Structures are given as structure tokens and as C-alpha cells.
Amino acid sequence: MAFSKEKIARKHKLDFTEGKKYNMVATGVPKLDDVLCGGLKPQSTVLLCSQPGVENVEFALQTLFNRLKAGDHGVYLVNNKLPNSVKLLAEEYGWDLGDYQRQGTFAFFDAYSAMLSLKSGTEYYSSEPQNMQQLSEVMPEVLAKLENDNIILIFDALSTLIDSTKNEDEVLAGIKKFLSEVRKYNTISFFLFTEWLYPKSLTNKIKSLFECVIEIKALERSVILQKYFSVVKAPQAFERKDIPFKIIKPGGVRVFIPKILVTGPYHAGKTSFVHSASTKAVSVNRLGTTVALDHGHVEYKGYEVDLFGTPGQERFDPILELLGGESLGVVVVIDSTMPKDFGRAKEMVKLSNTVDLPVVVVANKANMKGALTVDAIRKQMKLPANVPVIPVVAENMADVKEGKPCQLKSEDVQKVFSALLEVVV
Amino acid sequence: MILEKIPQNSAVVVISPPLEGKEVLVSSSIKDDLKEKVPVLIISTDKSAEDFKNELVKEKIFFGDAESKGLLAFIDCYSMHVGEAVKNTSSIKRVPGPLALNEISVALSDIEKEFFRKSPKHCIVFNSLSTMLMYSNPQAIGRFVQVVIAKIKKAGGSAFFTLEEGMHTPDVIVMMEHMMDYIVFVKRENGKLFVKAKGLDGFEDWGEFKA
């Protein structure tokens, strides 16, 4: 989806002129670069602060791999597991760090083996991993060898470091010194931190040491229902919002929208839309019409979206509210040639109890005789200017068969998704 | 039977000297749960998931298709820690070691989510806390256990932690006991297993345990 800095600036009354002075470093984590207005500032220090039970390593690894691919260098300091297990984890996501290790543009820094009195198998290691003073002296030597315009440094994990020492003030002073030392070498530092019931005062002090803080949290009832991340602090203008995500293997961090309702009158083309948009889809049909629901899963530019399509016939109205529950947005599919059904489309949004959600109107059959223009549809449906109306047509009219979902033009479907993600995320 | 008297949704620590019978009690609990189709997750810090399964079989606990049905799962904190290049399976999640606390909590959350869909109750066996205490500051493990117990209880589960007697200072034992609902002590005498439990009426004194 196109990143709209201007749109974010307008919405939040932000001034991006300061950010323009810098060449922002893109993380490659979907949506994160958008909310950071392009990415991270060079030499910035980032705290990836997660709630227990929610992943944070993947955010750092994804950025590391994307930056290595872009020609940056990297070093991964690990104090809670063997470096090889990080490498194996990265491989599961499809990120082969071995190539960069062989090229000499990436290295592990082993701060774990010494904790177990083991001999390290890596070139760079610490004999006193709990001693930040020592790390502050050794790390610059590593960074000097890795010299580059941008070096990504990952510190996995700050919580382990805090857990392993008794003097928290000493650790905080050590981190401060470490950060000031490493930034001399064009590093962007990511510190992984899990909030294990530390005193609030300690957590606040830790957050104050970093220029950028990204919180990774979960909506939890009996179990975790939804994970999301948000930027809560950055040196440049940023958009403060919760981005739902999930982690997939291979792939990594994906923005995840668990439910988008697709509704609209009978025969408008809902099933065609769900099937055309989805990488996999299933419909409960009888005699060529949906009698329960359509379900599709969409993978689109780092986003994962689940679509739930409703039946259009009035006899199924009692299940609309059930299908609409917990949706994050609505796609209303209408037949552009059937203005008499537009009222029914609005009624279905009301019945599914999704009136207040972000909505995109898909004007299907836009190339057919009698089809209304976008403006005419907007006027007739009394849609506000901020509701996108996207005309869509069949890929090939010759393939359109009564009672069968047809393939919609993929560029039209992509336009719908761009508009949808713009309003939902 | 002591295990039947422990209420659902409890946190229990089972304490005994090494090789004195904790395993028998824990295995017996796993057997009872699987028999009732209650999902069981075993978090193993001192042996691989495969070794744990072998031990269950040795204890004559035959779990049949429980694994394939998603009723028996493992978080293996051992194999990667000793450098084995192992992969996840449908029932075994490997985490890099006993100090990778966030990875353990992520794996636990993922598996509990699956269990929650299958059953209103489940059981988490954490074997053993002593390994984690060996590698980390007891305060840190205390914070971890506190979070984990809260998560398990919220999801409707029960938790069994094992702890080796004689390996930790009394203040560490007291801290761990403080977070639990029941403390079960196990000892072996003349080839027989005896148990007693703090906080459980009728089991405050030593009594013979029969699986």
C-alpha cells in the first residue's frame, strides 16, 4: 500500500519537515515504516518492548535481514541462547544469515556461552556478559571491523541482562554508556525487552534511554486474541496507532486483519469478490448462491486479511449480525447497474451492526450497460467523501457464467485492497 | 488420592530430592488428565521432548493418539540448548533454552490458545523449575513464574511445577512456595512413595502414594 506521509501529517497535524533532513532507514516491517514516516533515523536507538507471551525477536530479525539485503551490515548480540539457535530461527522465516556471515557483513556476538561456562564457537564473544562496561569496550572493536554507513545492532535481550544482575542502576548507566559508544559507528541499535513485572519506575527509566520505543502487545481475555504493535516514542514525527499483526513462517511479521465483512445485495458479486481477492477461499453455496458464508484469506503486500462474505438474500438476514461481529472493516459490494438495490446494501450494513466501521464500496459490473458512475453511486447512496467507491469489472466477460463466481480484474481488486487498508489500518 | 483432591485451576509445586519420586506423581497426573481427554502440555527444561515421552512409556503411560489429536504437546527447552539441530513438530515446540523466557512464554501462549479451543480445562507440567533457577537470578524466575501462573489460570488451566529439594537456598524455596496454591512434598522410603501437601485438607501428614 502506498505510504501517504501527507495524509498522516494532515490527520495528526504533524510537521514532517524535520524528518525530511534525514535519509530514513526502512525496517521492512509492514506498516511500521509508514507510521514512522519512512523508517528509522540513522544512528537511532530502538527499544522493542513486548508483553510476556508476545514475540519481539522477529521484529528485530526481519529488520536485520532486510537491511543486510539492502547492503547494510549487522551484529547480533545474544545473551539468552546460543547464536546458532538464532540462525536456525531466522532460517525458519526464510532469512539466511549464513551468507552474510560468510561475506563478513554480519556477525554474532556471543554473550551466552560464558554464562554457562562454555567455550564460544563465534569470533566475537564476551567473557563477562553481565558487565555492560566490558561490553561497551568490546563492541566498538567489532563495529570498527564491520564498518559501514549503517550497522544494525541487535541486543537480545535487555531483560536477560537486567535479570542477571542485582544492581539495576549500574545496568542502566552501563546501557547509556553502551549506546553512546556504539552510535559513533553509525549503528541503529535494537534492544529486545520483555516486561516481566519489573517495577514501573525501572521500565520508565529504561524507556527513557531510547529515542524510539515500539511496544508489542496483545489483547488478552482468557487467551491472547490479537497481537498488535505501536510506536510510542520516536525522534521524528510519527503516527500513534495500534497495528494488528501475526507472525508467519516463512515470512515473519505480517499486518493481520482478522475479519473484514463483505456484504451487499443478492447477486451483486460478493462471492466473486471474495474468490478473486483471496489466495484461498471457500463458499457455502446452494444452487449458485451463497447460503451461509464465503470465507477467503488474502495475502497482500505484507498484509494478511480474512474475508467473511454474507449471503445477500433477505431470508438470511438473521445471521448478518453474527457474521458482522468483531469485524474491523466492511466491503460493500453493489451492482452498478442496479440502483434499486443500493438501499438494500445500506440496510445490510445496518443489520450486520457494522455502521460505524471503515467501509469501502465495490461498484461491480462497472462496464456493463446502465452502470452508474462513481459520482452517481456516491450521490444515490449518500456516501460521505471519505468512503472510497471503487469500480470493478470482470477479467473476461466471456467467462462470466450465471450462478458461478467470476474472476474480477486483479488491478481493480488491488485498488479495493489499497483503499481498504488505508481506511482500516 | 491426592491428585483428585487438588482443585482445577490451581498452581502446584511438587518438591522432592532428586530421583525421589516427583516424576511418578507428575506422570500419574498426566495419565489421569489424558484419560479424561484433558489436554496436557509438558515444558521440559532438563531433557528433550523425545526423552520425556520415552519416560512416560517407561512409567506405563501410553498416550496413544493424544499427540496427533492435539491433547499432548511439549515445549522442549533442552535440545537446542545443547546444540542439537532440531525442528518443531506438530506436537513439539522447541525453544532455544531455559533462559529464553520470552520464547517460552510465546510458545506457552500459542499452545494454550489451541487447548482453549478444545477443552475448558488443561494442565501444564513444568519440569523443572530447578534448571531455570540454576541459570538465572531467582528473582527473575520468580517474576516469570508469577506471569506464567496468571496466564495459565486465566486460560482455565492448572499448573504443576517440579522443584529439586536440596538444590536451592531456603529463601528461593519460600519464594516459589509463596506463588503456589498447594505445595506437595514427595519422598521415597523402603521402596514406597510417600506424599504430603501443604494447604490441602487431609493430606498435611505423610501418606503412601499409590498411582
User: Which has more pLDDT, A9 or A330?
Assistant: A330
Which pLDDT belongs to residue A411? Answer: 93
User: Which has more pLDDT, A408 or A23?
Assistant: A408
Claim to verify: residue A235 and residue A307 sit in the same structural domain: no
User: Domain for residue A381, yes or no?
Assistant: yes
User: Domain for residue A250, yes or no?
Assistant: no
Do A166 and B137 lie within an 8 Å CB cutoff? Answer: yes
User: Domain for residue A397, yes or no?
Assistant: yes
Residue B79 DSSP SS3:
coil
Q: What is the residue-averaged pLDDT of chain A?
A: 89
Contact assessment for residue A274 and residue A283, using Cβ atoms and an 8 Å cutoff:
yes
Query: What's the rounded Cα separation, in Å, for the pair A284 and A104?
Result: 55
Claim to verify: residue A21 and residue A125 sit in the same structural domain: yes
Statement: residue A369 has pLDDT above 50 = yes
Whichever domain contains A140, its CATH number is 3.40.50.300
Claim to verify: residue A210 and residue A269 sit in the same structural domain: no
As beta bridge partners, residue A281 has A296
User: Domain for residue A241, yes or no?
Assistant: yes
Q: How many CB atoms lie within 10 A of CB B58?
A: 10
The amino acid sitting at A375 is D
DSSP string, A49-87: EE-TTS--HHHHHHHHHHHHHTT-EEEEEESSS-HHHHH
Q: How many CB atoms lie within 10 A of CB B31?
A: 19
Work out the minimum CA distance from A82 to partner chain B, whole angstroms.
Answer: 7
User: Domain for residue A300, yes or no?
Assistant: yes
Torsion (CA) A72, A78, A82, A84 in degrees, nearest 10: -10
Flag the least confident range among A64-73, A77-86, A274-283, B157-166.
A274-283
Q: At which of A213, A245, A277 does a domain end?
A: A245
| Residue A5 binned pLDDT confidence (cut-offs 50, 70, 90) | low
**Is 3.90.110.10 the CATH number for B2-208?**
no
Claim to verify: residue A207 and residue A265 sit in the same structural domain: no
Closest CA to A27 of A66, A77, A85: A66
| Residue A2 binned pLDDT confidence (cut-offs 50, 70, 90) | very low
What is the tens place of the pLDDT at every residue in A301-336?
888 899 999 998 888 888 888 888 888 899 999 999
Contact assessment for residue A200 and residue A162, using Cβ atoms and an 8 Å cutoff:
no
User: Which has more pLDDT, A18 or A366?
Assistant: A366
Which pLDDT belongs to residue A116? Answer: 84
Where does A132-250 have alpha helices with state H? 132-145, 158-163, 168-182, 200-208
User: Domain for residue A251, yes or no?
Assistant: no
Do A223 and B101 lie within an 8 Å CB cutoff? Answer: no
Claim to verify: residue A213 and residue A234 sit in the same structural domain: yes
Closest CA to A173 of A143, A131, A128: A131
Query: What's the rounded Cα separation, in Å, for the pair A335 and A324?
Result: 21
For residue A81, give the nearest of B97, B139, B146 by CB distance.
Answer: B97
Residues of A in contact with B106 (CB under 8 A): 53-55
Which pLDDT belongs to residue A375? Answer: 95
The C-alpha cell that represents B26 in the structure block? 507428575
- A219: contact with B, CB 8 A cutoff: no
Residue A393 belongs to domain spanning: 256-424
Claim to verify: residue A58 and residue A163 sit in the same structural domain: yes
Q: At which of A245, A268, A288 does a domain end?
A: A245
| Residue A14 binned pLDDT confidence (cut-offs 50, 70, 90) | low
Query: What's the rounded Cα separation, in Å, for the pair A102 and B154?
Result: 47
How many CA atoms within 13 Å lie on the side-chain side of A217? 12
How many CA atoms within 13 Å lie on the side-chain side of B33? 30
Which of B81, B82, B102, B110 to probe the A interface (max A CBs under 10 A)? Answer: B102
Distance linking the first and last C-alpha atoms of chain B = 9
Residue B203 DSSP SS3:
coil
When divided into structural domains, chain A yields a total of 2
Contact assessment for residue B118 and residue B71, using Cβ atoms and an 8 Å cutoff:
yes
User: Domain for residue A32, yes or no?
Assistant: yes
Statement: residue A13 has pLDDT above 70 = no
Claim to verify: residue A98 and residue A217 sit in the same structural domain: yes
The C-alpha cell that represents A245 in the structure block? 499483526
Q: Where are the beta strands (DSSP E) in A1-52?
A: 45-50
Do A165 and B156 lie within an 8 Å CB cutoff? Answer: no
For residue B136, give the nearest of A84, A86, A164 by CB distance.
Answer: A164
Q: Which residues contact A401 (CB under 8 A, 6 or more apart)?
A: none
Residues in A 82-141 with any Cβ partner in B closer than 8 A: 82, 84-86, 88-89, 112, 115-116
Please give the C-alpha separations between residue A280 and each of A251, A305, A420, B80, in angstroms, as whole numbers: 17, 11, 19, 35
User: Domain for residue A88, yes or no?
Assistant: yes
The amino acid sitting at A31 is K
Claim to verify: residue A366 and residue A295 sit in the same structural domain: yes
Which pLDDT belongs to residue A307? Answer: 94
Statement: residue B159 has pLDDT above 90 = yes
User: Which has more pLDDT, A103 or A17?
Assistant: A103
Which pLDDT belongs to residue A3? Answer: 42
Contact assessment for residue A152 and residue A190, using Cβ atoms and an 8 Å cutoff:
yes
As beta bridge partners, residue A224 has A220
Do B154 and A223 lie within an 8 Å CB cutoff? Answer: yes
Phi/psi at A30 (5° precision): -55, 135
Query: What's the rounded Cα separation, in Å, for the pair A362 and A355?
Result: 16
Which pLDDT belongs to residue A1? Answer: 38
Closest CA to B20 of B211, B195, B197: B195
Query: What's the rounded Cα separation, in Å, for the pair A142 and A160?
Result: 22
Claim to verify: residue A90 and residue A209 sit in the same structural domain: yes
Claim to verify: residue A320 and residue A417 sit in the same structural domain: yes
What is the tens place of the pLDDT at every residue in B100-135?
999 999 999 999 999 998 999 999 999 999 999 998
What is the tens place of the pLDDT at every residue in A210-264?
999 999 999 888 999 889 999 999 999 898 888 999 999 999 999 998 889 999 9
Claim to verify: residue A275 and residue A420 sit in the same structural domain: yes
User: Which has more pLDDT, A10 or A238?
Assistant: A238
Share of chain B above pLDDT 90, in %: 73
What is the tens place of the pLDDT at every residue in B62-95?
788 899 999 999 999 999 998 888 889 999 999 9
Q: ω into residue A363 within 30 of 0, thus cis?
A: no
The C-alpha cell that represents B202 in the structure block? 487431609
Mean pLDDT of B207-211: 84
